Amino acid sequence: MINTVYSVVAWTFLIIFFVATAFWVVEVIVVGQARKRPAEHDLSDIQVRVMTIDAQEVVQQTVNSLPAKLSDVRVIAEHDIDIDGATVHVVPESFTCEATRKARAAEWARRHVPTDQTFVLYLDEDTIVPSLPPFPDADIVQLMERPVRTGSWLSYFAEIFRMGFQIEQRVFPRFRYPLYAWGGGFAVKTAVEQEVTWDVPTVTEDTNFIWRAFADPDREMAVLPVKLLNQAPPSVGELIRQRRRWISGASLDSHLLPRQYQLLSLLRNAAWGLVALSPLLLIPLVTPVSIVFLPSLYEVAIGIQIVGMFAWGFIGYWYYAERFRVLVGLFVSLPVVAVLHATGALWAILRPTKTFRVTQKVPPTQLTDDVAEEMVIDNRESDDHQEGDDEEKPRAIKSR
C-alpha cells in the first residue's frame, strides 16, 4: 500500500515537472522571442521614479548610475532623504488607498507627481542602469535584470539559476498575457498608468499591474535585452522569503487571468514549489527493490529532469557571462541551490502571505570586493559620449 501511494505521488510530481519543462522548451525554442521593435522614444521622453522606504545610500548609487539624458528623476520615498541629482517626494502618512506598501507609494506618485513625459520608468532602490537604449512605442517596456552577489554564494547561485529560466521573458510579448513582470526595471506609458492605476491590494504590484493592463487586448509589450544590475538577496533566509512573496502574489492575483492562463500559472507554480521535495524522488534509485511503477521509465524521467536542471543553470551562467570558477561552484551546489530556490515557493503554496516585506539591501560601502566595481557606476557626471548613439553608454565607473 505504501509503495503504491509513493509511486502515484512520485509519478504525479514527475508529470508536473515534465509538462512545465516541455512548455518552457516550446515557449523559448518554438514560439521564440518577439521581433525587435524600432526605437521611437528618446530617453528625454522618460520620467524615472525610484521606489524606496529610506535607503539613502542605495538610492544615491542608483541615481548616479542613470544616463545623463534621463533628466527627470524622482525618488518616491516613505521618509525624507537627501538625494543628489533627483527630486525626492515623500508619501504622506495620511495618504490612504486600496493599495499597500510599494503599490501605495506608486499610486500616490501616479496621482501627485506631475509628468509630461510619454513613459514612467519604475526602478527599485537598488537597480543600477549601466546603459539604456531608446524605447519602442509599446504600452509597457520590460527591462531585464542581472542580480549581483551581496553576501551568500548560495543566494547568488540561485539567482543565476533563475536567470536561466527567466530568459523566457523575451517571449512574453507574443502572449496574450505576460506571465509575470520584474518591477525593478519596468516602464509604462503615462496614459496607460493613469487608466490602469496601482490602486489594488497585492504583494506583487508589478505582475498584478500588467495582468490588469492586458485585460485590454490592444495593449502591447516590449522587452529590451538590457541587463540592469540589482542586488541578489544577501542571505538564504532573505531568498526564501522573497520567493514566498512572489508565488503568494501570483497565486492570489491569478483570478485576473483567463482560465487557461490560470491553469498554466497553477501548473508552473506547483512545479516550482515541488522542486523543494524533489530529493524524495531519488529514493527508488537507491533502494534494492522496485517501489515505483515502470521503474525503467522512471529512471529516464528522473534523468531528463536532472539534465533540465543543469541546462537552466548553464543558460543562467551564459546569460551572466560569469567566470568559469563560478560555473564550477554553481554546478557543484546546484542540487542544493534548486531546493533552496524552491523552498519559498513551496512555503507560499502551503501558506501564502499577504504581507509585503522588502528584501534586505546592502549599502554600497558593504558590497563584496568582487562586485563593487561593476555595481558602483556613475553616468551622470560625465559627457564623454558620442552624439547620435542609439544607446546611452556607461561612462564612468567608480572603483572602491
Where residue 309 sits, what CATH number does that domain have? 3.90.550.10
Residue 399 domain-assigned (yes or no): no
- Non-local CB neighbours of 297 within 8 Å, separated by 6+ positions: none
- The grid coordinates of residue 102 equal 510599494
What is the pLDDT, as a whole number, of residue 362?
Answer: 80
Residue 220 domain-assigned (yes or no): yes
DSSP 287-336: SSS--SSSHHHHHHHHHHHHHHHHHHHHHHHHHHT--HHHHHHHHHHHHH
Per the structure, the complete domain to which residue 25 belongs is given by 1-380
Residue 229 domain-assigned (yes or no): yes
Number of structural domains found in the chain: 1
More confidently predicted of 302 and 397: 302
Contact 234, 152 (CB under 8 A): yes
Residue 374 domain-assigned (yes or no): yes
- The grid coordinates of residue 198 equal 496601482
CA triplet 29, 34, 39: central angle to 5 degrees? 150
What is the pLDDT, as a whole number, of residue 389?
Answer: 45
- How far is it, in rounded angstroms, from Cα 339 to Cα 111? 42
What is the pLDDT, as a whole number, of residue 391?
Answer: 46
Q: pLDDT at residue 329 above 60?
A: yes
> Edge-to-edge strands of the sheet including 87-90?
87-90, 72-77, 46-51, 119-124, 185-189, 140-148, 221-231
pLDDT band at residue 383 using 50, 70 and 90 as cut-offs: very low
Q: pLDDT at residue 373 above 80?
A: no
Residue 215 domain-assigned (yes or no): yes
pLDDT band at residue 359 using 50, 70 and 90 as cut-offs: confident
Residue 388 domain-assigned (yes or no): no
Percentage of the chain modeled with pLDDT above 70:
90
What is the pLDDT, as a whole number, of residue 79?
Answer: 94
- Which contiguous run of DSSP H or E holds residue 40? strand 39-41
> Mean per-residue pLDDT for 226-246?
95
Residue 393 domain-assigned (yes or no): no
| pLDDT tens digits, 33-83 | 888 889 999 999 999 999 999 989 999 999 999 999 999 999 999 999 999
Residue 42 domain-assigned (yes or no): yes
Q: How many CA atoms lie within 13 A of 84 on its CB side?
A: 7
Mean pLDDT over all residues of the chain?
90
Entry pTM = 0.90
